[in-house]
Amino acid sequence: MTAPRGAADQTPASAGLHARQPKAIHSALTVLEEVARCGAGVTARTISDNLELPRATAYRLLNVLVQDEYLVRTPDLRGFALGRKVVELASLVAPARPPEAVRLIVDRLREGIRGGVHLVRYGHGGLRVIDPDPDFPPSDRAHVNRFLSESAMGRLLLAERGQAAAAPARQLYSDIRRQGFAHQFENVKSGYGCLAVPIRDRSGGLVAGLCLSAPRTRLENPTALIELLQGGARDLAPLLA
């Protein structure tokens, strides 16, 4: 039997997207924006009145957003506030600026090292550059998170995770753990490389990293640069752990 014209183009996702769903998605986003605009504690009734939504529709959308953790109920259960997922999305777009004491230490390092010095935070979702060098902006951060093995800051995280890998990668991550730093040459930008040293909490867990990006010729004998970065990491550890 011949399939109807256009049936081959209906993926499961597109087939399940009914005509009413885009409107519902738009309404949910509008409710989310209204909670952000009104602030924590705004009630379903206020949202319904402000957006001219039927009360039942407002309650239904609010419940969906709470279930998906975009909103949370306030402790008195009367109102709503922005939830964990909104905070996570905001931090990915514009990570919170580190405290002044942290920035002063990183700035001192930048004054003594020619190249881009970046402060990185690690978490379950990957890495975030929380203090990029304004004079030497880091490479595409989305690319770095997608291809962790190509950057020194990504390799620190992979070595810490100890994930299974092919033999050459296993040796690389073993070397990183033994040496106490990671490096790469020309994987991200032609003619350039980067070094990364870990910043650890009191239990030895990886929480952050200091990374230096510079022309490859300056990084091929990195002993002095590693010592500078490691000194900065020691100073930063109590402030970031």
Instruction: Say yes or no: 85 and 99 in one domain.
Output: no
First to last CA, the chain: 64
3-state percent breakdown (helix, strand, coil) of the chain, nearest 5? 50, 20, 30
5-39 pLDDT per residue, tens: 444 444 443 344 344 567 888 889 999 999 988 88
3-class SS string, 45-92: HHHHHHHCCCHHHHHHHHHHHHHCCCEEECCCCCEEEECHHHHHHHHH
Instruction: Say yes or no: 107 and 225 in one domain.
Output: yes
Contact between 170 and 114 under an 8 Å Cβ cutoff? The reply is no
153-169 pLDDT per residue, tens: 999 999 998 765 666 77
The predicted structure's pLDDT at residue 16: 43
Instruction: Say yes or no: 53 and 103 in one domain.
Output: no
Give the Cα separation of 82 and 66 in Å (integer): 9
Span of 20-34, 57-71, 126-140, 162-176 with lowest mean pLDDT: 162-176
Instruction: Say yes or no: 107 and 135 in one domain.
Output: yes
Tell me whether residue 11 is exposed, middle or buried, using C-beta atoms within 10 angstroms of its C-beta: 0 to 12, 13 to 18, 19 or more: exposed
Domain contains 55: yes
Domain contains 7: no
Residue 147 clears pLDDT 70, i.e. is over it = yes
Instruction: Say yes or no: 160 and 181 in one domain.
Output: yes
Q: Among 89, 121, 144, identify where a domain stops.
A: 89
Residue type, 138: P
Domain that holds residue 74: 21-89
Domain contains 8: no
SS3 10: coil
Tell me whether residue 187 is exposed, middle or buried, using C-beta atoms within 10 angstroms of its C-beta: 0 to 12, 13 to 18, 19 or more: middle
- The sheet with strand 71-73 has its strands ordered as 42-43, 79-82, 71-73
196-220 pLDDT per residue, tens: 999 999 999 999 999 999 999 999 8
Q: Mean of the pLDDT values across residues 183-187?
A: 89
| DSSP code at position 98 | P
